[in-house]
Amino acid sequence: MPELHTFSRSAQQLARNPLGVIALFIVLIYGFASSVVGLSGLQAGERAPIVWFLVVFPVLVLGVFSWLVSRHHTKLYSPSDYRQDSSFIEASVEQLEVAAALGAATARRLETEGHPDETAHEARKTVNRVARLITPTALLSARARRILWVDAHMNDSVFEREALQALGFAVVVAQTTQEAIAAFEREAFDIVVSDMCRPPDLRAGFTLLSQLRNYNIPVAYILYTRATTPDQQSEAWKRGALGIINRPGDLVALIIQTTASDADAA
């Protein structure tokens, strides 16, 4: 029976991947239900529940699938989705490294702000949010991107940079506006992450942004600072920045989304 042999081979291929298993399950359920409906001995009342099942089941499957893709898409990949098994292991290790670094960054930020009771909950929420964005495509895009991190107090953002480096981003640091401009003279960057205040300039973040725009450098610009105001947010957008961020998870998520959208546009 060539049809059975063909189905067997297709089933073996589908079973290698979680999404394939779901598809195979749907096919078997529909095949069984269709066979039952076709039995000549069933009365109209006996067929009605099966017909309703065939109508409602696709809606339920679509809902569950949408939830999986939006909330747990990383669990839908298997080693066979990667060119090599080592790539699958590497991606898993990178996710763990990012999670550890983001958890530490969130804990430090909340403790310095005087909210130690929120540390565990906020760190877990941050890790879960960013984990959903870490896909093979995102990791591939990150490896081709360079970030210039400008901060007068580098020790305060160690864990954030470790999270980005674990994703594959190349991160170069500068402590002053002058060092940042000099860095652009040597090499190109895709993203700039800058703090706001670098004494004596209390608006150093905006100063650097203005200089980069005056030099016609179209780099994605993000301000990362402890405290933000609506006026600062509005001014940042007017000046062409992506925004002002004060949470590690929001920062990493924005960077991942920015590089992913750039990759899609390319």
Q: Return the SS3 of 139.
A: helix
Q: Among 76, 105, 122, give the residue marking a domain's end.
A: 76
Q: Among 76, 106, 136, give the residue marking a domain's end.
A: 76
14-23, 24-33, 41-50, 60-69: least confidently modelled range: 14-23
Res 84 pLDDT > 50: no
Q: Which residue has the higher pLDDT, 212 or 62?
A: 212
Q: What is the CATH number of the domain that holds 238?
A: 3.40.50.2300
Average of pLDDT values for 29-48? Answer: 64
Over residues 165-175, the pLDDT tens digits come to 988 899 999 99
Beta-carbon-side half-sphere exposure of residue 124 (alpha carbons within 13 Å) = 4
Q: Residue 22 contacts by C-beta under 8 Å, 6 or more apart in sequence?
A: 61, 65
What pLDDT does residue 85 have? 44
DSSP 2-55: HHHHHHHHHHHHHTTSHHHHHHHHHHHHHHHHHHHHT-TT--HHHHHHHHHHHH
Longest dimension (CA), the chain: 88
What domain range includes position 15? 2-76
What percent of the chain is predicted at pLDDT more than 70?
60
Average of pLDDT values for 10-38? Answer: 61
Over residues 185-220, the pLDDT tens digits come to 999 999 999 999 998 999 999 999 999 999 999 899
127-136, 184-193, 240-249: least confidently modelled range: 127-136
d(CA 91, CA 137): 11
Same domain, 90 and 6: no
What pLDDT does residue 87 have? 45
* C-alpha separations of 253 from 110, 132, 181, 206, 260 in Å: 18, 10, 26, 22, 11
Which of the given ranges, 61-75, 96-110, 179-193, has the highest pLDDT on average? Answer: 179-193
Same domain, 204 and 254: yes
- For residue 79 the two structure tokens come to 């080693």
Backbone angles phi, psi at 78, to 5 degrees: -130, 165
Q: Which residue has the higher pLDDT, 104 or 225?
A: 225
Q: Among 76, 111, 129, give the residue marking a domain's end.
A: 76
Over residues 105-125, the pLDDT tens digits come to 777 777 676 665 555 666 677
Tell me the average pLDDT of the chain: 76
Res 151 pLDDT > 90: yes
Domain count, the chain: 2
Strands 220-224 and 191-194: parallel
Same domain, 167 and 46: no
Same domain, 115 and 167: yes
What pLDDT does residue 70 have? 58
pTM of structure = 0.64
> Contact 256/167 with Cβ under 8 angstroms?
yes
d(CA 15, CA 27): 13
Same domain, 134 and 240: yes
Which region, left, alpha or beta, applies to residue 88 given φ > 0 means left and ψ of -120 to 50 means alpha?
alpha
d(CA 102, CA 37): 53
Same domain, 139 and 185: yes
Q: Is the peptide bond before 116 cis (omega within 30 degrees of 0)?
A: no
d(CA 205, CA 72): 36
What percent of the chain is predicted at pLDDT more than 90?
28
Res 266 pLDDT > 70: no
What pLDDT does residue 213 have? 92
Confidence grade of residue 71 (pLDDT, cut at 50, 70, 90)? low
Same domain, 65 and 114: no
CA angle 257, 128, 243 (to 5 degrees): 35
d(CA 120, CA 118): 6
